[in-house]
Amino acid sequence: MRTTALGTHGSEVGVIGLGAMGMSFAYDMATPRDEATSVSVIHQALELGVTLIDTADVYGPHTNERLVGRALTGRHDRAVIATKVGLEAIDPTGGPGGSPLVKPNGRPEHVRASIDASLRRLGTDHVDLYQLHRVDPEVPVEGTWGALAEAVAAGKARYLGLSEVSVEQIQRAQAVHPVATVQSEFSVWSRDVQAEVLPYCKQHGIGLLPYSPLGRGFLVCRFASFDELPRNDQRRRLPRFQQDNLRANLDIAAKVREVADRIDATPAQVALAWLIAQGPRVVPIPGTKTPKYLADNAGAANVELSPADLADLDAIPAPVGTRY
């Protein structure tokens, strides 16, 4: 697979990454997970050049890092491991649909304790990318980021990234330690970052990692109505997935499919190729626990969208309903 540098201050990675969250967390929690298949998906990713594997301590909580660690046993040198700190599960079942209830924790002492626990679960002595999951509104970002920078100084992390931040927050972090990457929701139906964050990242050599690049499955035409969402699933509480909104948004998925049919690609490949076209350091991290989807997503690296295809996708109207 083609590779790109994850920002001026980051590692070389395949242009498509893999989000591991859904292997343990967030979606369809009533269906038992097949861990062996998830492990094989991570192995398959490395074979295909999908080297960036994204996880977080709060996914599970903790079980997703353990799963990624098990999958990477003996393979750490082939992967670029990205994990996150800064969201804490305060009640294991108190969130929507019985999922963990989480809140930001950016206290430096929490960050210092968390990196060692993440490394133990991941079975490694360092991660390639250590990301701040959310800025804690009660803690100055400089303090939190300084604690992440200590992990770099101690050889426990190579590079640092932020998630869901404003340009002002990136600048405040940069004053303390270089920012290699910013992770934000970004897809044809979630384009907020195009206004300020993406231009700033391009100008400053910062990699952008679009999360939920397939619209949490919506853009690949997985759901035609609210009732098709699994019962124990975080998407059931998101505004865009509510019955009337979802129905109104079906035109968006139909447009992605129309472009895909025209160029003999899949909707997932079109959604990902549109993101890759947004800049040389834009590396989407689609989430999947399904071998055929992993292969499908990796194939997006070879899909070239023409100016007309890009224009059609750019013209897709804003969805009905906010992201959260």
Ligand X SMILES: NC(=O)c1ccc[n+]([C@@H]2O[C@H](COP(=O)([O-])OP(=O)(O)OC[C@H]3O[C@@H](n4cnc5c(N)ncnc54)[C@H](OP(=O)(O)O)[C@@H]3O)[C@@H](O)[C@H]2O)c1
CB burial of 168-198 (b: ≥16 within 10 Å; e: otherwise) equals: ebbebbeebbbbbbbbbbbbbbbbebeeebb
SS3 (DSSP) at 211: strand
Closest Cα partner for 66 from 104, 108, 117, 110?
A: 117
- Selected binder of ligand X within 38, 51, 181, 183 (CB under 6 A): 183
SS3 (DSSP) at 42: helix
Shortest Cβ 18–ligand X spacing (Å): 8
- Selected binder of ligand X within 38, 83, 99, 163 (CB under 6 A): 163
- Selected binder of ligand X within 7, 14, 287, 319 (CB under 6 A): 287
Question: Smaller CB distance to ligand X: residue 236 or 308?
Answer: 236
Half-sphere exposure of 186 (CA within 13 A, CB side): 28
Q: Is 213 in the site for ligand X (CB under 6 A)?
A: yes
Total chain residues near ligand X (CB under 6 A):
29
Burial (0-12, 13-18, 19+ Cβ within 10 Å), 50? buried
Shortest Cβ 19–ligand X spacing (Å): 2
Q: What are phi and psi of 183, to 5 degrees?
A: -105, 125
Q: Is 35 in the site for ligand X (CB under 6 A)?
A: no
Q: Which stretch binds ligand X (CB under 6 A): 143-151, 168-176, 282-290, 302-310?
A: 282-290
Closest Cα partner for 111 from 82, 139, 80, 70?
A: 139
The site map against ligand X for 240-279 (x = CB under 6 A) is: ----------------------------x-----------
Which residues are known catalytic residues? 59
- Selected binder of ligand X within 19, 60, 100, 161 (CB under 6 A): 19
Structure tokens at 93: 């079942």
Q: Which stretch binds ligand X (CB under 6 A): 88-96, 117-125, 205-213, 303-311?
A: 205-213
Residue nearest to ligand X (CB): 19
Q: Which stretch binds ligand X (CB under 6 A): 30-38, 165-173, 213-221, 247-255?
A: 213-221
The site map against ligand X for 289-318 (x = CB under 6 A) is: xx--x--xx---------------------
Burial (0-12, 13-18, 19+ Cβ within 10 Å), 62? middle
Q: Is 24 in the site for ligand X (CB under 6 A)?
A: no
**108 C-beta neighbours (distance < 10 Å), count:** 15
Q: Which stretch binds ligand X (CB under 6 A): 20-28, 93-101, 251-259, 316-324?
A: 20-28
- Selected binder of ligand X within 96, 164, 167, 279 (CB under 6 A): 164
241-248, Cβ contacts within 8 angstroms, sequence gap of 24 or more: 241/216, 241/321, 242/321, 244/320, 245/319, 245/320, 245/321, 246/218, 248/319, 248/320
Q: Is 215 in the site for ligand X (CB under 6 A)?
A: yes
Please give the residue ranges that form the binding site for ligand X (CB under 6 A): 19-22, 27, 54, 133, 163-164, 183, 211-217, 220, 222, 268, 285-290, 293, 296-297
